[in-house]
């Protein structure tokens, strides 16, 4: 839908004109998976897909939420913002963000009508929920004149995810949605929140996102388990490294020396992934800056293997897509992206090989899983912003 169609949809739903509009993108992470909540580096970029939010104040003293991607319309009194609604309801994402502003001393003095529409496929590991959170945070920052910077707005989205969706996520998705920059990836240190834009100068190489359409999704339980297993590893490592806060503080060499302190075998596997993935992310960005795309691709493949063997978040659908991609000439690297289980892979593919890649990987995946995957040549876009109406 374009902005004119969205304005019309707003008028159809609320019988009046929208006053403001905002957009926040989804993201694809190139490398650095399950490192963010361990204080490590990530390397995501914003997609040109995202979520739009049109808004106008109302005189009803109520918040009204409508998404063109969902059936239900939700209406709430202004004093009904402090707790999530029924688990799994999409409204919890924006609601959780608005609740953070209220909590920070920016009460709502009137009601608002909100219309959402997004074109990030839901449940695909491309941060459709972060896009909803970040677009809401940007909108209410403007409406309430809260003057939060982008980092704070990303944190508001993350907090909403923790408290209103029950997922103890890191900061990567919301940060990428807030700070995205066209044709750049964001090299973010999740420990310090310092970041650098790195141009994706990859002449003749495309970034292809492939959607497994897997029936298995990453649920909050499996994700929160991984977070807890990493925290357990940190606690056990403190017997030999008393000041340790995050797994990312350990180099691969240091970890080799102290890993015997982790006596929970699952926590040891998870920590093994995190420590190596942190190093791989630093190495991959170094390789990209040096123009060594081959090495970048190899590190992507190693990342997938470690997410499969040590972190156990890939599953048969993502493995099938990655394994089939690895067989195609012209593919420099391929790995799962995002939280895992279902969702998408991201592959670096030589431009002339893209049609063959889509044909070969698509048919082999279908033969293995009886599911048709979707392919999308990623366009790297800008981060969240207001849109002229
Ligand atoms: C999800 C979370 C992120 C991050 C990734 C894995 O997308 O929301 O914070 O942990 O999984 O890298």
CATH of the domain at 135: 3.30.230.10
* Residue 151 covered by a domain: yes
pLDDT digit string, tens, across residues 36-66: 999 999 999 999 999 999 999 999 999 999 9
Find the radius of gyration of the CA atoms of the chain. Answer: 21
Whether residue 331 has pLDDT greater than 90: yes
What is the mean pLDDT of the segment spanning 251-267? Answer: 98
- pLDDT confidence of residue 382: 98
Domain contains 165:
yes
Rounded-to-integer distance, Cα 128 and Cα 69, Å: 11
Contact 249 CB / ligand 1 (< 6 Å): no
Mean per-residue pLDDT of the chain: 96
Q: Which residues contact 245 (CB under 8 A, 6 or more apart)?
A: 39, 234
Ligand 1 pocket member 338 (CB < 6 A): yes
List the structure tokens of 213: 């359409």
User: What pLDDT is attached to residue 220?
Assistant: 84
Is 170 inside a domain boundary? yes
Q: Is the CB of 33 under 6 A from ligand 1?
A: yes
| Residue 224 lies inside a defined structural domain of this protein | no
**Ligand 1 lined by 339 (C-beta under 6 Å):** yes
pLDDT at 5: 98
Q: How confident is the model at residue 302 (pLDDT cuts 50, 70, 90)?
A: very high
- Supply the pLDDT for residue 218: 74
Alpha carbon of 169 to ligand 1 centroid (Å): 6
Calpha distance 310→306 (Å, rounded): 5
pLDDT for residue 229 is more than 90: yes
Q: Which domain holds residue 84?
A: 3-199+381-387
Q: Is 170 in the pocket of ligand 1 (CB under 6 A)?
A: yes
What pLDDT score was predicted for residue 369?
A: 97
Q: Is residue 359 part of a domain?
A: no
The predicted-structure confidence for 76-93, as pLDDT tens digits, reads as follows 999 888 899 998 899 999
Confidence of residue 339 (pLDDT cuts 50, 70, 90): very high
CA of 89 to the centre of ligand 1 (A): 20
Percent of the chain at pLDDT exceeding 90: 94
Stretch 21-26: mean pLDDT: 98
Q: Is the pLDDT of residue 295 over 90?
A: yes
Pocket of ligand 1 contains residue 36 by CB under 6 Å: yes
CA 55 to centroid of ligand 1, rounded, Å: 29
Nearest ligand 1 atom to the CA of 167 is 8
For 168-327, strand residue ranges (E) read: 184-189, 195-199, 205-211
Residue 173 Cα to ligand 1 midpoint, Å, equals 7
Candidate of 32, 35, 36 to mutate for ligand 1, largest count of ligand atoms within 8 Å of Cβ = 36
Which tokens hold the place of 132?
């909803």
Q: Which pLDDT band, with edges at 50, 70 and 90, does 276 fall under?
A: very high
Q: What's the pLDDT score for residue 255? A: 98
Exposure letters 251-271 (e unless 16+ CB within 10 A, then b): eeeebeebbebbeeeebbbbb
Mutate to test the pocket of ligand 1, among 338, 344, 346 (most ligand atoms within 8 A of CB): 338
Using the mean position of ligand 1's atoms as its centre, give its distance from the Cα of residue 278 in Å.
14
Contacts of 110 (CB under 8 A, 6+ apart): 57, 58, 59, 61
Instruction: Tell me the mean pLDDT in the region 158-180.
Output: 97
Structural domain contains residue 204: no
State the catalytic residues.
Answer: 173
Residue 255 included in any domain: no
pLDDT of residue 201: 76
What residue's CA is closest to ligand 1, atom 10? 34
In a domain? residue 43: yes
Ligand 1: centre distance to CA 126 (Å)? 10
Establish how many alpha carbons lie within 13 A of residue 298's alpha carbon, considering only the half-sphere containing its beta carbon: 6
Atom 8, ligand 1: residue with shortest CA distance? 169
Nearest to 32 by CA among 172, 183, 233, 161: 172
Of ligand 1's listed atoms, the one at least distance from the Cα of 170 is: 9
Number of domains in the chain: 1
Please tell me the total number of residues recorded for the chain in this structure. Answer: 389
Do residues 113 and 20 make contact, with C-beta atoms less than 8 angstroms apart? no
pLDDT at 219 over 80: no
Half-sphere exposure of 359 (CA within 13 A, CB side): 6
Binning pLDDT at 50, 70 and 90, where does residue 122 land? Answer: confident
Ligand 1 closest atom vs CA 171: 9
Please determine, for residue 348, whether its predicted confidence score (pLDDT) is greater than 90. Answer: yes
* CA distance readout (Å), 105 to 57, 91, 134, 146: 19, 22, 19, 9
What is the pLDDT at residue 202? Answer: 85
Pocket test for ligand 1, best of 128, 131, 173 (most atoms within 8 A of CB): 173
Ligand 1 centre distance from Cα of residue 321 (Å)? 20
User: What per-residue confidence (pLDDT) applies to 279?
Assistant: 98
């Amino acid at each position: 839908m374009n902005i004119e169609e969205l304005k019309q949809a707003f008028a159809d739903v609320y019988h009046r004109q929208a006053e403001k509009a905002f957009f926040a993108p989804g993201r694809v992470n190139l490398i650095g998976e399950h490192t963010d909540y361990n204080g490590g580096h990530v390397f995501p970029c914003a997609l040109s897909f995202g979520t739009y939010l049109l808004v106008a104040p109302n005189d009803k003293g109520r918040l009204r939420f409508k998404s063109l991607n969902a059936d239900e319309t939700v209406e709430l009194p202004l004093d009904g913002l402090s707790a999530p609604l029924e688990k799994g309801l999409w409204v919890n994402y924006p609601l959780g963000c608005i609740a953070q502003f209220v909590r920070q001393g920016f009460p709502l003095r009137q009601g608002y009508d909100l219309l959402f529409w997004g074109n990030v496929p839901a449940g695909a590991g491309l941060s459709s929920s972060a896009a909803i959170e970040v677009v809401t945070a940007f909108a209410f920052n403007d409406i309430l004149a809260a003057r939060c910077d982008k980092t704070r707005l990303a944190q508001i989205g993350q907090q909403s995810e923790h408290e209103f969706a029950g997922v103890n996520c890191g900061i990567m998705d919301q940060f990428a949605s807030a700070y995205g920059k066209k044709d750049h990836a964001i090299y973010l240190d999740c420990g310090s929140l310092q970041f650098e834009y790195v141009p994706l100068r990859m002449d003749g190489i495309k970034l292809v996102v492939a959607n497994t359409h897997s029936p298995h999704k990453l649920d909050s339980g499996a994700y929160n388990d991984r977070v807890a297993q990493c925290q357990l590893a940190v606690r056990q490592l403190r017997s030999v490294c008393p000041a340790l806060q995050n797994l990312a503080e350990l180099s691969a060499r240091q970890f080799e020396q102290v890993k015997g302190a982790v006596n929970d075998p699952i926590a040891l596997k998870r920590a093994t992934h995190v420590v190596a993935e942190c190093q791989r992310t630093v190495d991959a960005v170094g390789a990209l800056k040096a123009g060594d795309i081959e090495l970048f691709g190899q590190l992507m493949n190693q990342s997938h293997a470690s997410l499969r063997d040590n972190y156990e978040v890939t599953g048969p659908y993502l493995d099938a897509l990655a394994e089939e991609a690895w067989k195609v000439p012209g593919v420099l690297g391929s790995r799962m992206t995002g939280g895992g289980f279902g969702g998408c892979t991201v592959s670096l593919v030589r431009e002339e090989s893209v049609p063959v890649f889509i044909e070969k990987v698509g048919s082999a995946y279908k033969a293995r899983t009886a599911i048709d995957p979707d392919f999308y040549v990623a366009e790297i876009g800008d981060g969240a912003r207001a849109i002229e109406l």
